[in-house]
Structure 1
């Protein structure tokens, strides 16, 4: 490396660049409509997600005409707005504030005309922040199912399939409620594959999945659900808005930020430091500890054999892993993945790593993730901490906090999924 003598600092700069690339102030303005496109109608702003308040702020700063709106974001993720009301609610398990916001949002878009334009600002986290129950369900039912899904090991796509069919607002229902107004949705993706239906469970896009698909997910993971939930799915009353629905004709969806763009921003920082970046993928999924093993195995091959690429280099990846909770630790898929990598690396000289959630929250903790270096395991053992025990108890946050290696950003007000990097230094020259 040439520009940074400290690999940990370089890793943190790469993560910061990934987050900065997805800041709404940067990515929202180029996609805003013009006043001329309204044709005399009104602009109504709605939205949900961890980045939605910052997105709303960007709209206000760049929209010259009148507007009104309502947006819901996670507690602590608000941003000052004058014309768009910002509501805060709970994530990842929904609460009454989110329920009230969802009810108000549906009421807010009633009675619109074909001349009106609804600008919908959607980002990751919106699913929990709009917890309007479907017919016959309560908020408690939604909370119970959400907790069970989070512990099950299901992928984000599978979880959102279930959520859409238990909802009164997701799976295209919010866009249908806006009819006959036009809807323009701006998306910041936090899901592998960037499928709009999986971002906040797709409140403004048509959903091809079915109640039968949701039931299949529940059976696949042995998830216990209240009888009212099963009855709703069995009856088909939870069906979402399907492709071809006339209420969605003429609507538009634009992807304005995504994990791939964040990885490319990090790669640029690496190149400036004289380190060759290799992007392994922006949609890596699987059990977090298993993904950690695989990534570490690749880093070991580079460090020991210069294959498939020579050091110095950094292996970059994004996506969303899963954690099947078995222990009583403090969880977090990024710290679980990174701890697994550290154990597999076994203190390998010259290998450093970072794994963080770009929204600043890994699991239920206000901690983005953590860093590792060749001394990680030795420092843990010196403190009487057994790394494998911490992994077995799903206690990645406890492990890294004890070492002082947690990465804490505070609210980033954006969300383009997980960021992982393993940096391999060139081996020192032999005398």
Structure 2
């Protein structure tokens, strides 16, 4: 759409300024397929784009299947309602739009850039909130994540890059970002928007080092056995832009840096490797790490950290957190009549072990009880892994424990809509998942599937995969374990009122 069409669609006469007031209602099913259709579907947690010009507020619109219930009393539907509520609460469009509608300091022309898996949606929210005040924009995101979000005619350049592993496109994206910043007039107000995935999507190394060097670094670090904190410290040490060094390329006197957190503890230094966050020398010190000489040379070639004066003009705020998604899901489930137990700790560790533990917990839980977590587990990969990521592995492991336990359900989904390779967000399993999988593929074995890191194949066979497409956010994974009411009490609950 044209810029004029987009701005007129955002006028006070044509649409409410509060995106919550315009959200579309969900159509819920067990297989979430979210896209931007001409007929009104929207991406979960993202902006619904009308090809005629108007952009609606974010809402999850999810195709129903035969298991749906008009009273929405099916536990599977209730869980998917909770997922939709979580994604809506932390959506990149909604979070940025809401924050900028409260921002009084951005009065004149400004520029904006967004980096991360939610960047296209964040930019759309900024454009809706600030209108023609944004004269120039740059979006750096994962391949395919800006499709149908950033419209032709908007003053926004889109650069697609690599995720989860950086490659030559990450180096080129870093070049594009630095060029964008260098070309801004000195007094331009700058809006920065950072979300999960930025660390891989954008990179720039010191002069003399390029894509081959970056690939060599990643091969070494991934095979080193170092903990993730050490790996990230090395990556920051060798970078021209991580650890706040991106500020070296900014001449603006005022910068507003909006962050969506995808990390435990919501540490701004960790979100996107802290592109615009002040660091100390200790934060990137690699002196005690036993690095090979070639990597030590790269570390010594990186520039110093920006002086404090350079960082003084940058205001950084976290506008969406994993806990926000968990709380929104909990509120949705509480309204449905469930007793809620929110686990404040971040769920980490081996996915199969975590799924087994949660499965045993919910198998013994009282009726009408829900447990919720956010986190990111890990999967042990064999030499030739199959399909499926950590959420699918966790869900299949839980399915083994709740097999035959009527009323037990578990949903595990990546809030970015991606769980491992492919376009699957996660899975929703129940007491019959194991039986359905074995009926669909006689001779199959869930234990064997888990050892082969092939949970996705099993879960597809039993119809338990969850798909959202790009959600417009990234706040780790959401895990919900539910024990349903007895059928009689469920019926009474949803007839009441």
- TM-score under structure 1 length normalisation: 0.85
Q: Following TM superposition, by how much is the alpha carbon of 1:115 offset from its aligned partner in structure 2, in angstroms?
A: 3.4
Match of 2:408 in 1: 351
Match of 1:319 in 2: 375
CA contact (8 A) 1:330 1:395 kept: yes
Specify whether residues 10 and 161 from structure 1 end up closer, same or farther in structure 2 by C-alpha distance, changes over 3 A only.
farther
Q: Is the 8 A contact 1:176 1:248 kept in 2?
A: no
Distance 1:153 1:389 in 2: 26
| SS of equivalent to 1:196 | coil
What residue is the counterpart of 1:306 in the other structure? none
Once residues 407 and 194 of structure 1 are traced to their aligned partners in structure 2, the CA distance between those partners, rounded to angstroms, is 27
**Residues in 2 aligned to 1:231 and 1:284: alpha-carbon distance in whole angstroms:** 37
Distance of aligned partners of 1:237 and 1:367 in 2 relative to their CA distance in 1, 3 Å threshold: same
Which is worse superposed, 398-407 or 311-320? 398-407
How far apart are 1:38 and its partner, in Å? 4.9
User: Counterpart in 2 of 1:20?
Assistant: 88
Counterpart Cα distance in 2 of 1:246 and 1:175: 11
Q: What do the CA deviations read for 1:26-72 (whole angstroms, capped 9, x no partner)?
A: 211232288963576x4121120011111111111221425212120
RMSD: 3.0
State the match for 1:397 in structure 2. 456
| Offset of residue 155 of structure 1 | 6.8
Q: Which residue does 1:416 correspond to in 2? A: 475
Structure possessing the higher relative contact order (Cα contacts under 8 Å, 6 or more residues apart):
1
Alignment correspondent of 1:232: 298
Which of 111, 128, 139 is residue 211 of structure 2 equivalent to? 139
Q: Which runs of 5+ in 1 are unaligned?
A: 220-224, 303-309
Instruction: State the distance in 1 between where 2:144 and 2:116 align.
Output: 12
Deviation at 1:143, TM superposition (A): 3.6
Partner residue of 2:118 out of 25, 37, 51: 51
SS of aligned partner of 1:37 = coil
Q: Is the partner of 2:340 in helix, strand or coil?
A: strand
Q: What residue in structure 2 maps to residue 381 of structure 1?
A: 438
Of 115, 121, 124, which residue of structure 1 is paired with 2:193? 121
Per-residue deviation at 1:189? 1.1
| Pair 1:332-2:394 in alignment | no
Aligned ranges 1:80-91 → 2 under 5 Å: 80-81=150-151, 82-91=154-163
Query: Aligned in 2, Cα 1:255/1:34: closer, same or farther, shift over 3 Å?
Result: closer
1:193 equivalent in alignment to 2:265: yes
Measure, in 2, the Cα distance between the counterparts of 1:386 and 1:151.
Answer: 31
TM, length-normalised to structure 2: 0.75
- Give, in whole Å, the separation in 2 of the partners of 1:151 and 1:334: 24
TM-aligned CA distance change 1:186 to 1:98, over 3 Å: same
Contact 2:166 2:200 in 1 (8 A): yes
> Residue in 1 aligned with 2:42?
none
The counterpart of 1:107, out of the listed 155, 168, 179, is 179
How far, CA to CA, are the matches of 2:381 and 2:403 in structure 1? Answer: 24
Shift of 1:101: 2.1
Shift of 1:187: 0.7
Maintained 8 Å contact 2:403/2:432: no
Distance 1:13 1:161, change over 3 A: farther
* 1:286-344 deviation per Cα after TM superposition (whole angstroms, max 9, x unaligned): 22222223322322332xxxxxxx42111111022222323522341111222222233
2: CA distance, partners of 1:316 / 1:390: 26
CA contact (8 A) 1:135 1:168 kept: no
Match of 2:105 in 1: 37
**What number of residue pairs does the alignment pair up?**
411
**Aligned twin of 1:222:** none
Contact 2:350 2:379 in 1 (8 A): yes
- Unmatched segments (≥5 aa) in structure 2: 1-69, 489-497
Alpha carbons of structure 1 residues 114 and 137: separation in structure 2 relative to 1, 3 Å? closer
